[in-house]
Amino acid sequence: MDAVILCAGKGTRLLPLTENRPKPMLPVGGKPILEYIIEKVENLVDNIYLVVKYKKDVIIDYFRDHPKVKFVEQGDIDGTGYALLSARNFLGDEFLVINGDIVFEDRLKEILLHENAMGLVEVENPKEFGVVVLDRESNIVEIEEKPENPKSNLINGGIYKFQSDILDILEDLEPSERGEVELTDAIKELIRERKIKGIKLKGYWNDIGRPWDLLDSNRHILKGIKREIKGEIGENVIIEGNVVVEEDAVIRHNTVIEGPAVIKSGAVVGPLTYIRPYTVLMEDTFVGNSSEIKNSIIMRGTKIPHLSYIGDSIIGENCNFGCNTITANLRFDNKPVKVNIKGRVVESVRKLGVIMGDNVKTGIQVSFMPGVKVGSNSWIGPNLLVDKDVKSNTFIYK
């Protein structure tokens, strides 16, 4: 049996983080989301087909040497159904299908026992998802996308086992109102003829749609790491709890690291730096004197050299922060931080800092208000308070 992982979407709700990489390649716990999915299925299947399109080279470059991974390009139509159909010529009688943007714990064994099955998750806010209704034998009898009045709190978990007849149904489907061939429309047809078992997934599950989902999954992964110190550790460094310091990382003197945290190879931290729990410093990052980083993902090559506070933030690759660049991450009234997602202001979580693309430069004494987004390649001049989203490729100066 084979697995198909759907990785071709644009991930627009995660902009600017997805400006230069597809959503499945965003890092959580120091590795791309997609790598965890591949690790889960590689011993269960013969081939893993990654359906790619948007920024496909980032996925192909990373996984090209994996012995079971093969790449299939999605055709001109959008949608999860069309993504699966794009792999049609490679698939046998039955196969596993997984969305490339979910972080989950379940070991998939129960799903594989059934001819047709869908992984389900119990949530408090089903309105935002595909809501599923089961009969007494746990067969799916109804799926409704983002219903106003959900009939259950079980939602589609983005993990499926199908027989090849799903592909025949997909072939005959017309695109939906939003111009996409949707997998759930095909499943609605399939349940008229076949039984699809609803399997409640065990343990943690998260569908990475918005930036703060990434921080949530990052925390989940970091809770499971074990202490492993391989890099160079200077004098008077304190490392508490489960911290990974990879080979070729350097922790300079008088630095404090509170786990769980991951410091990847080539990263340099210190002197006198404070790394707090749930922080990941990706490869070749530098965090220097009197800077404090908390609950944040700092991507490859970014430099935060002096006197900065970065909290509850996601910072893209190769950014360069001027001295005393600061993020605010909490409102005075303690209400959820508001974030603009595709032109709509939505409430996120109580603590959220800045969401930044790649190659951003800040001058000295730049401050960011909670939940602002900064597009890639932008420059923010010195002594500015950034309280609105900054588009990509802009230069703001007083």
Q: Which is nearer to ligand TTP, 74 or 295 (CB)?
A: 74
Q: Which is nearer to ligand TTP, 75 or 234 (CB)?
A: 75
Tokens matching residue 187 = 């499943």
Query: Smallest distance, Å, CB 260 to ligand TTP?
Result: 26
Q: Is 35 in the site for ligand TTP (CB under 6 A)?
A: no
* CB within 8 Å of 286: residues ≥ 6 apart: 267, 268, 269, 302, 303, 304, 305
If binding is defined by CB under 6 A, does position 13 make contact with ligand TTP?
yes
220 among known catalytic residues: no
Binding-residue total with ligand TTP (CB under 6 A): 21
For position 26 contacting ligand TTP by CB under 6 A, the verdict is no
x/- track of binding to ligand TTP for residues 159-198 (CB under 6 A) = ---------------------x------------------
Among 2, 3, 4, 11, binds ligand TTP (CB under 6 A): 11
Beta bridge partners of 199: 119
What Å distances lie between residue 246 and 3, 218, 279, CA to CA?
A: 31, 17, 14
Sequence-separated (6 or more) residues with CB below 8 Å from residue 9? 22, 23, 54, 80, 83, 100, 101
What is the DSSP pairing of strand 303-304 with strand 326-327?
unpaired
* CB nearer to ligand TTP: pick between 180 and 216: 180
Whether 325 and 380 have beta carbons less than 8 Å apart is answered as no
- Judged by CB under 6 A, the stretch of 59-67, 97-105, 240-248, 321-329 that binds ligand TTP is 97-105
Contact region with ligand TTP (CB under 6 A), list: 76-84, 116-124, 161-169, 351-359:
76-84
- Per the CB < 8 A criterion, the answer to whether 140 and 198 are in contact is yes
100 is a contact residue toward ligand TTP (CB under 6 A): yes
- Selected range binding ligand TTP among 1-9, 57-65, 326-334, 369-377, rule: CB under 6 A: 1-9
Q: From CA 337, how far away is CA 296, in angstroms rounded? A: 16
Q: Indicate which single residue of 2, 3, 4, 9 sits in contact with ligand TTP (rule: CB under 6 A).
A: 9
What is the smallest separation between the CB atom of 219 and ligand TTP, expressed in angstroms?
21
Q: Is 12 in the site for ligand TTP (CB under 6 A)?
A: yes
> Which pairs count as long-range contacts for 131-138, CB under 8 Å and 24+ apart, including other chains?
131/155, 131/156, 132/156, 132/198, 134/198, 137/195, 138/197, 138/198, 138/199
16 is an interface residue for ligand TTP by CB under 6 A: no
Residue 101 is a binding residue for ligand TTP (CB under 6 A): yes
Q: What are phi and psi of 234, to 5 degrees?
A: -80, -175
Q: Could you say whether residue 83 binds ligand TTP (CB under 6 A)? A: yes
CA proximity to 313, closest of 187, 188, 214, 207: 214
CB of 4 to ligand TTP, least distance (A): 9
Cβ at position 381, least distance to ligand TTP in Å: 31
Q: Which two tokens stand for residue 299?
A: 């991507």
- The angle subtended at Cα 359 by Cα 323 and Cα 259, nearest 5°, is 65
Active-site residue set: 306
User: What residues make contact with ligand TTP under the rule CB under 6 A?
Assistant: 6-14, 23, 51, 74, 78-80, 83, 99-101, 180, 209
